[in-house]
Chains A and B, each alone.
Chain A
Amino acid sequence: DAGVTQSPTHLIKTRGQQVTLRCSPKSGHDTVSWYQQALGQGPQFIFQYYEEEERQRGNFPDRFSGHQFPNYSSELNVNALLLGDSALYLCASSLVGSGSLHNEQFFGPGTRLTVL
């Protein structure tokens, strides 16, 4: 049973560029959430996708956008990169209606983005 996978594992970009990160959820999961984890910090919620729509969003600017595909995989896009966007980007998947109220999230290993 494949867990959550993310690609690429590392990425280096320069300020002003755009980046796309990818996530494949755990088999059987239908919901994908994205988090940003800056160095020395806990993960911060960016947004969550369910049924190909953004269901909930954290306190992130519109430069951060996403997409979910019919196969439940997801992309995170960041435009006009800033130095402060350097972080580990984590994807987590879960199953809505799993019977568990808290919809346990399973995390991928993350993509390390460095903005120079």
Chain B
Amino acid sequence: GEDVEQSLFLSVREGDSSVINCTYTDSSSTYLYWYKQEPGAGLQLLTYIFSNMDMKQDQRLTVLLNKKDKHLSLRIADTQTGDSAIYFCAESKPGGSYIPTFGRGTSLIVHP
């Protein structure tokens, strides 16, 4: 199977919270990332979490890591239409020189 798996689509109403989920297979993953890709643009690093952390919060973004289940989530509070984009989960490890391995991305659609 894929090293990093994500659901492909998520639709939410403006103002609601969005939760994007990701699972990974490699227990030696050291860093886990969330990237955002808007149409016609490259990837923008939103946030990352080190594997010895359980949670990281940055303004509207909250990352939760369950290392036992190899599950990562990104919660976006008060989701806005400008948050509509594709969100990629990625992991990296020291043996791979921290080159991220990406999931297929979750397309977030925010309805007014």
Residue of A nearest to B92 (CB): A102
Q: B99 near A33 (CB under 8 angstroms)?
A: yes
> Which of these, B4, B42, B102, contacts A4 with CB under 8 Å?
B42
Q: A109 near B88 (CB under 8 angstroms)?
A: no
> Which of these, A48, A101, A104, A108, contacts B99 with CB under 8 Å?
A48
| A102 CA / B97 CA spacing, docked (Å) | 8
Please report which residues of chain B, range 18-74, place their CB below 8 angstroms from some CB of chain A when the two chains form the complex.
Answer: 30-31, 40-45, 48
* Closest CB in chain A relative to B80 CB, distance in Å: 22
**Interfacial chain B residues near A81, Cβ < 8 Å:** none
Residue of B nearest to A58 (CB): B99
Residue of A nearest to B31 (CB): A102
Is A99's beta carbon under 8 Å from chain B? Answer: no
Q: B43 near A90 (CB under 8 angstroms)?
A: yes
Q: A45 near B99 (CB under 8 angstroms)?
A: yes
Stretch in contact with the other chain, from A36-44, A61-69, A71-79: A36-44
Q: B99 near A43 (CB under 8 angstroms)?
A: no
Q: Is the interface of A mostly helix, strand, loop or mixed?
A: loop
* Closest CB in chain A relative to B99 CB, distance in Å: 5
**Interfacial chain A residues near B103, Cβ < 8 Å:** 42
Q: B42 near A90 (CB under 8 angstroms)?
A: yes
> Which of these, B4, B40, B42, B97, contacts A48 with CB under 8 Å?
B97
Q: B99 near A42 (CB under 8 angstroms)?
A: no
**Interfacial chain B residues near A45, Cβ < 8 Å:** 99-101
> Which of these, A40, A42, A102, A110, contacts B98 with CB under 8 Å?
A102
Residues of B within 8 A of A (CB): 4, 30-31, 40-45, 48, 88, 90, 92, 96-105
Additional A-B contact list (20), CB under 8 Å, known A45-B100, A48-B99 = A4-B42, A41-B105, A42-B90, A42-B103, A43-B43, A43-B88, A48-B97, A56-B96, A58-B99, A101-B30, A101-B31, A102-B30, A102-B98, A104-B45, A104-B48, A105-B45, A107-B43, A108-B42, A109-B40, A109-B41
